Chains A and B, each alone.
Chain A
């Protein structure tokens, strides 16, 4: 099932992601998390070669929007779909418009599924872009990033990930003393520059 070496620096990538998200939210909406984000190392649950990404279990079975982005070591790897990393973002449906408002975006029509999917994708794009910049600033090579894919409740077909990896980090972010945003990150070995 798994081949090759695993990324011994996975926790460092989780920390880079946290650093990026905290800075991004502060810059964008002066939004400060109620407490420090909580990270937890977990095993990747694999199904037919993809990472399971179920949103509803993150927020007590409440409807959830899910967005996923992949990272690649180079454009050539991206063409070959040789995935190095996966970032999955989960936001509870009821909170997504409020979160986007806090981030200074125009109002989101919460009755339009298309608008809600677009919002979650927009959020994942800025988070994933910031994470990519943090990775580069930490001395790693410049990664390529996929366009986001967005789902309601769960990514039914799963999310592609680096098959060498069997662990990921789940990171919970609290706003107004309630878990409002959950990120999952898996990353293979990223070469340094």
Chain B
């Protein structure tokens, strides 16, 4: 079983599609898992956590927000060290601070709209990129 899947958590189908398109276009060869809600993501993480190397997490989601998802994840030792990068429309310093307070191991914070270059720079340590890209 591979352990190099990227889990994308975003309630917007279009944002998830865009993210996958951008990452594939930038040469990322990892497989993707998708969750439309924080609850779905918790379920996926619960059953397939060994396969996931990176979580790309939206903040604004109905019912369980990205922050609430992260609060839940950091309490579970088996998954608390999973690399999480927030991908959000809100880029203020205070929001960033809040996110790092909840998860001091947060691996990055990307503000929408992002460029392929800016996202690649943050996710590079966690993914596999096709040679020559």
- Complex: how many Å from CA A100 to CA B21? 15
Contact with A along B90-116 (1 / 0, CB 8 A): 111111000000000000000111000
> Do the beta carbons of B90 and A133 come within 8 Å of each other?
yes
- Complex: how many Å from CA A106 to CA B15? 9
Please tell me if A128 contacts chain B, counting CB pairs below 8 Å.
Answer: yes
* Min CB gap A65→B, angstroms: 13
Question: Among B6-14, B42-50, B76-84, B119-127, which stretch is in contact with chain A?
Answer: B6-14
> Do the beta carbons of A142 and B14 come within 8 Å of each other?
no
> Do the beta carbons of A27 and B113 come within 8 Å of each other?
yes
Please tell me if B88 contacts chain A, counting CB pairs below 8 Å.
Answer: yes
Q: Within A133-151, which residues are at the interface with B (CB < 8 Å)? A: 133, 136-137, 142, 145-148
> Do the beta carbons of B90 and A129 come within 8 Å of each other?
yes
Q: Which residues of B contact A121 (CB under 8 A)?
A: 11-12
- Complex: how many Å from CA A129 to CA B49? 30
- Complex: how many Å from CA A28 to CA B113? 6
Please tell me if A125 contacts chain B, counting CB pairs below 8 Å.
Answer: yes
- B residues sitting closer than 8 Å to A (CB atoms) are 11-15, 17-18, 21, 60-62, 65, 88-95, 111-113
